[in-house]
Structure 1
Amino acid sequence: MTTTTPLVNGQVIGLAHYASRAVLETVLARTGSDFSQSVALRVVSDNGGTVDRDRLVSRLVGALKIDESAARETVDELTALKQLDAPTPERVSLTESGRELFETIRAGGSEIAARLYAGIPAEDLAIAGRVLTLVTERANAELAKA
């Protein structure tokens, strides 16, 4: 039997996403957090540990393709869990606990990525990155028109 490499399409991309996310979910389950919470913690961390609440909500809506109320619920959950602090109603900051949680998730995700991408040539990863970025940009443009 001969196997052929499939062309990149939505199904191939989706299968890769869901398979790798399922592996990440094992890390998240050990920490008691979920995927949207991990994305929110990353956004705050990537912005120096403090970010405007509305900017965080907007980033969650855009990245996860969820509605604003679900994004706000994620921020509220993290605040209730003391992973985020709200020094003012307009801003949120990582707490020490939130920073530690994010570092645990980041380390686990990095270990997973190292295993999943091991042995793939850098030029193949660069090409895949360019293609997937272009597909994402086009899909986001389609959503903006809808």
Structure 2
Amino acid sequence: MTATTPRANGQTIGLAHYASRALLENVLARTGTTFNQSVALRAVSDNGGTVERGWLVDRLTGALKIDESAADGTVTEMTDAKLLEPVGGQVALTESGRELFEGVRAGGNEIAARLYAGIPAEDLATAGRVLTLITERADAELAAL
């Protein structure tokens, strides 16, 4: 590390997050999707396309650090928009929701390919371990509040 290379800390991590998120927000804006909705779409897709509604609300509150009413509101918006459909106590991706998620995921993957290009795999693995540890510690502190 040189004198001009900043240390990894909350500021540098935050700046990287907001810069990459701004790129993703452009993809989302073209589809009329909010960031919270994109997180919900990924969570449902990654878990087979159908999940318990309560699990999804909990997932959004935990991942996005939002309150339960905001998370529940996101799920309601998505059912109203026919991106998710209620099935008993569960919600399932509709065909429209699946197509939307595939487009958002493709756009996100293109961004990631550009941003992570040329970074050695071992550096990405180290960064992943460090950021996961920081997230675990922050979540533990939040749980203790």
Q: TM-score range by the shorter chain?
A: over 0.9
Q: What percent identity do the matched residue pairs reach?
A: 74
TM (normalized to structure 1)? 0.97
For residues 67 and 144 of structure 1, what CA distance do their matches in structure 2 show? 13
User: For each residue in 1:88-120, what CA deviation from the matched residue of structure 2 results, as whole angstroms up to 9, or x when unmatched?
Assistant: 2x1100000000000000000000000000011
For residues 119 and 45 of structure 1, what CA distance do their matches in structure 2 show? 29
For residues 76 and 46 of structure 2, what CA distance do their matches in structure 1 show? 19
Structure 2 residues without counterparts, runs of 5 or longer: none
For residues 70 and 3 of structure 2, what CA distance do their matches in structure 1 show? 42
Paired residue for 1:106?
105
Moved over 3 A (4+): none
Shift of 1:3: 5.7
The amino acid that maps onto 2:56 is L
The amino acid that maps onto 1:51 is V
Shift of 1:87: 1.7
TM (normalized to structure 2)? 0.97
Matches within 5 A, 1:1-146: 4-88=4-88, 90-146=89-145
Aligned length: 144
SS at match of 1:79: helix
For residues 135 and 5 of structure 1, what CA distance do their matches in structure 2 show? 21
Structure 1 residues without counterparts, runs of 5 or longer: none
For residues 86 and 110 of structure 1, what CA distance do their matches in structure 2 show? 29
For residues 104 and 60 of structure 1, what CA distance do their matches in structure 2 show? 21
SS at match of 2:33: coil
